[in-house]
Structure 1
């Protein structure tokens, strides 16, 4: 599936997160949503990526933005990992089953590896895709760039 394009409606989803909560994109209308995909839990770059979301929670709040840390890892894995890396506030949704369905809907599923690409997608208050960036697997996304994009929306 092709990479989601800016200006398109963001595909809705309902998945469980590391807190066993149902997370639905449509429930965040009126807020911006940062969908931050990481390939797999328990890896160094993914850990730093999710900690960057957690460490900037207050900034995201000021920018009317909900950050979500997506991967295809199962819920129990995300739950233990979040605790171990001290990500307590940010929700880490699991796109485990059907395997990578949300990731595929956004065109971010790596068929060869069975995981997501490393990417950030910003959805505006009305559910439209406003920004998409895919990163090399070993590159940590620049959280300041993401914050700058959100600040200019």
Structure 2
């Protein structure tokens, strides 16, 4: 499947978050949404990526943006990891079953490894993709770059 591109409508999804709540993309109509994909919980760069979302949540709020962390891990795993990292407000979504289906729908699933790319996808209030960036797996996304993109819209 091809990677999602700017101007496309983001595919709808329903996934459990780290608390076991069902989260749908359409729940956030009227807000921008940042889908922050990370390959695997319990890894250093992924932890820093998710902690940056939590640490900057008030800044995201200023720009009417809801950041969501996504990976192929199960929601009990994401819950334990969120507690370990001190993530209390950002929702960490479990693209666990069917395995990586949402990542696949967005063209961000790495078939050979069985996990998603490290990527950020910014979606506007109506569900259209504004920005997509895929990072090398070992690279921590620059939160300043993310906010520069958000401020551009």
TM norm structure 2:
0.99
- Alignment correspondent of 2:130: 130
RMSD, aligned CA: 0.4
Give 4+ residue runs of structure 1 displaced > 6 Å after superposition.
none
- Alignment correspondent of 1:143: 143
Q: In 2, distance between residues paired with 1:43 and 1:93?
A: 16
Deviation of residue 115 (structure 1)? 0.2
Q: In 2, distance between residues paired with 1:102 and 1:74?
A: 13
- Alignment correspondent of 1:113: 113
Deviation of residue 27 (structure 1)? 1.1
Per-residue CA deviation, residues 16-72 of structure 1 (Å, 9 max, x unaligned), is 000111110011000000000000000000000000000000000001000000000
Q: In 2, distance between residues paired with 1:20 and 1:145?
A: 31
Q: In 2, distance between residues paired with 1:126 and 1:118?
A: 24
TM norm structure 1:
0.99
- Secondary structure of the corresponding residue to residue 15 of structure 2: strand
Runs of at least 5 residues in structure 1 that lack an aligned partner in the other structure: none
